[in-house]
A = this chain, B = another copy of it.
Amino acid sequence: MAPTDPLPSLAVTAAALAPFPTITVVGPTGAVGREVLDLLLRGGVPAARIRCIGPDRAVGTQVPYGAAQLAVESLRAEVFVRDGLALLCADADTARSCRELARGSGCMLVDNSAAFRTEPDVPLVVPEVNGSEFDLAACELACNPNCSTILLLVALHPLRRAFGIEELVVATYQAVSGAGAAGIEELFAETRSALDGAPPAPRVFPEPCAFNVWSHESPIDPATGLNGEEAKLVAESRRIWGDPRLRVSPTCVRVPVVRAHTEAVRVTLHTAAREAEIRAALARAAGIRVVDDRAHNDFPTPRKAMACDEVLVGRIRRDPCAEVGPDGASRTWSLLLSGDQLRKGAALNALQVAVLAAAARR
């Protein structure tokens, strides 16, 4: 429960990333890879520092980067250079290949896939939450948690630091971008068809996505009844917070939204808190923007969260059935959060991990 040590700035800039002269983006044409390039461009990283590695079908094509074009190269060991940074924005198989090819190269990998998240020696990092717990100076591989986990933990971490957390009941409203660019394309194409009265023909998702919601499409573990997304939310929250007894009850559901996830959360604290204390803890936390205007019904939505670096948090309220102390303090609170799945849920978090690693290498 002790406050985390002060973090260096997480701003993603050319200067912050200077200890990595070469930045390699593996999977630059996918939804997360494109977002990584957008953030590097925003941070003023010159095109000459960036290499793009794509699958065979993309090799030889060019990826726009501001006014420049980046040539897509093939994946091979030479890609991974000493003092390089490689941002892996591809699938788990590609991530495993990259790890093999990069072994001993001195290139740091930050992976977005689920390939290594459960390996105890590989840091699983949300900078605002556990960024100060790792020595990233010599780290060769770090992982992004699952997007839903990142957004949840950024929003809840201030409450955990101040009051402790015993239980989270979470229902997600997850954007189709979690399934990559193909998921976004399917949403738009199928919605057009639905408006024209055509029957749905889903390919990426197991259910029609237009004007529908559906239980997350990851496989169900027959032993637990949890789908893969829910199992990650439980396991990764426990691991990142170092609390194997944390109770997490997740229901992961997809909604026809492009690229920001929303989560309805009921949190039970260890220590009762008053509403003003809850709000103060959230208001001063890194990575959060409170959007909570009851009079105007202005709360987090995925549209508002789109292209934001922060996780939006609102609908902060005491549980209607909670035990309340004479000072209004309660252990059970509810809130709603929205965060950009491609940005803080993936690309931005990976780049912030790289910024932390860069700071450790100075």
Could you tell me which A residues sit within 8 Å of B by CB distance?
167, 169, 171, 173, 187-188, 191-192, 195, 206-208, 211-215, 217, 219-220, 222, 224-227, 230, 234, 246-251, 253, 255-258, 262, 264, 266, 294-297, 299-303, 314-321, 332, 334, 336
Contact = CB atoms under 8 A, between A and B. Distances in A.
Nearest to A259: B211
Q: Please give me the 7 A-B residue pairs with the lowest Cβ-Cβ distance, nearest first.
A: A225-B317, A171-B171, A247-B321, A251-B264, A171-B264, A220-B294, A215-B299
B225 A315 contact: yes
A301 B208 CA distance: 10
A230 to B, nearest CB: 8
Contacts of A225: 294, 315-318
Given A220-B297, A315-B225, A315-B251, A321 B167 contact: yes
Nearest to A220: B294
A257 B257 CA distance: 11
B297 A212 contact: no
Nearest to A338: B213
B303 A212 contact: yes
A336 B224 contact: no
A213 B255 contact: yes
Contacts of A317: 224-226
B211 A297 contact: no
B251 A334 contact: yes
Contacts of A187: 211
A303 B297 CA distance: 28
Contact of A334 (B249, B266, B316): B249
A258 B316 contact: no
Contacts of A303: 207-208, 211-212
Considering residues A173, A212, A234, A294, which has the most beta carbons from chain B within 10 angstroms of its beta carbon? A212
A250 B318 CA distance: 11
Contact of A321 (B214, B249, B334): B249
Contacts of A299: 214-215
A194 to B, nearest CB: 9
B253 A262 contact: yes
Contacts of A257: 211-213, 256
14 contacts: A167-B321, A206-B296, A206-B297, A212-B301, A215-B297, A215-B299, A217-B297, A220-B297, A225-B316, A227-B297, A246-B321, A249-B321, A251-B315, A253-B336
A295 B171 CA distance: 22
A215 B336 contact: yes
